Amino acid sequence: MTREPSGMELRAHHKRVTGMLEDPECHDDLLALGIVLAYFVDFEMAEKGKGGLMRIARRAFTNDNKLHLRHRIDGLIRSDIRRYDIDAEPGNRNRRWSVLCGAPMVRRSGPCGQPATQHDLLVDFDTGRGHWAGSCSRSEHKKWLREVFLRNRAQRNDSAAAAPAPAANTGGVLARHLPEINWERIYLSYKPNWTPPPEDHPWTPPVFTLYLGDADEADEADEADERPALAVIAGRGEVIRIDGATS
Ligand SMILES: [Zn+2]
């Protein structure tokens, strides 16, 4: 950027990057991309206008050739499209392999409970979410699973009884830290039939609170234990303190 960022801008940027670093879903390549995008949004977008994603990404992935970079960024963005993913359900990815036979027993109540040797994906018609059902190798239990699956699939194809669209459970990590970017447009460019999925909790991206400098702010800065090594405090008249030094 051509001019020095103001204390307020530095503070907003610090808050944004801290949010990414503290977000357990924002890591590895996604974090690297997020940080260069944050730099662009916070310090350059106002001057340069729209920025090309690949050009910005190149700052974080310098060793990639053009084609490899494109491939890598495409993969990153695709995996971060806000969506429902059955494998993102808590435990689902591994549960498939540890699911137990759910066939009802004849001589006792409750399901069979043997380790399953085959699985089918069933949709819950109240929530639209998926879960795995399994059966052991007993032929009558395999038959039970088959029937359950076919019944579920028939219901899935019956539009009158259609399950609701399941609430999003993955993706959207960069969007929640970088709400200034039009992610819907980006998602659509990767997945033309994408529509915003329903959300369990109204999904409000963080809104940055820019502190314009008042008495409360000075109090905050006095909490020395909490202060990071590099503290930037925008006060009245753009006072910037680094490690306690006032400039
Ligand atoms: Zn069984």
- How many A from CA of 148 to the centre of ligand 1? 14
Rounded to whole angstroms, how far apart are CA atoms 154 and 151? 5
- How many A from CA of 135 to the centre of ligand 1? 5
C-alpha dist (Å) from residue 244 to 12, 169, 216, 223: 19, 42, 17, 12
- How many A from CA of 60 to the centre of ligand 1? 52
Average pLDDT score over the chain: 78
pLDDT for the residue numbered 30: 96
- How many A from CA of 124 to the centre of ligand 1? 22
pLDDT for the residue numbered 78: 95
Beta bridge partner(s), residue 122? 131
Rounded to whole angstroms, how far apart are CA atoms 86 and 11? 38
- How many A from CA of 93 to the centre of ligand 1? 22
Res. 59: pLDDT tops 50: yes
pLDDT digits (tens, 9 = 90+) for 82-121: 999 888 876 566 566 778 999 999 888 899 999 999 988 8
**How many Cα atoms are found within 13 Å in the side-chain-facing hemisphere of 95?**
15
Q: Residue 139 burial by CB count (10 A; 0-12/13-18/19+): exposed, middle or buried? A: exposed
Long-range Cβ contact pairs of 143-147 (< 8 A, separation 24 or more): 144/102, 144/103, 144/104, 145/102, 145/103, 145/118, 145/120, 146/120
Q: Which of 115, 147, 153, 150 is nearest to 134 (CA)?
A: 115
- How many A from CA of 86 to the centre of ligand 1? 24
Q: Which of 78, 33, 81 is nearest to 184 (CA)?
A: 81
Q: Are 200 and 50 in contact (CB under 8 A)?
A: no
- How many A from CA of 7 to the centre of ligand 1? 66
Handedness of CA 194, 197, 202, 203 (dihedral sign): negative
- How many A from CA of 117 to the centre of ligand 1? 9
Q: Are 23 and 16 in contact (CB under 8 A)?
A: no
pLDDT digits (tens, 9 = 90+) for 177-233: 998 888 888 899 899 999 999 988 765 544 433 333 333 334 444 443 433 333 333
pLDDT digits (tens, 9 = 90+) for 110-128: 999 999 999 888 888 888 8
Instruction: Give 128-157 as a DSSP string.
Output: --EEEEEE-S-HHHHHHHHHHHHHHHHHHH
Least confident of 15-29, 68-82, 206-220: 206-220
- How many A from CA of 113 to the centre of ligand 1? 6
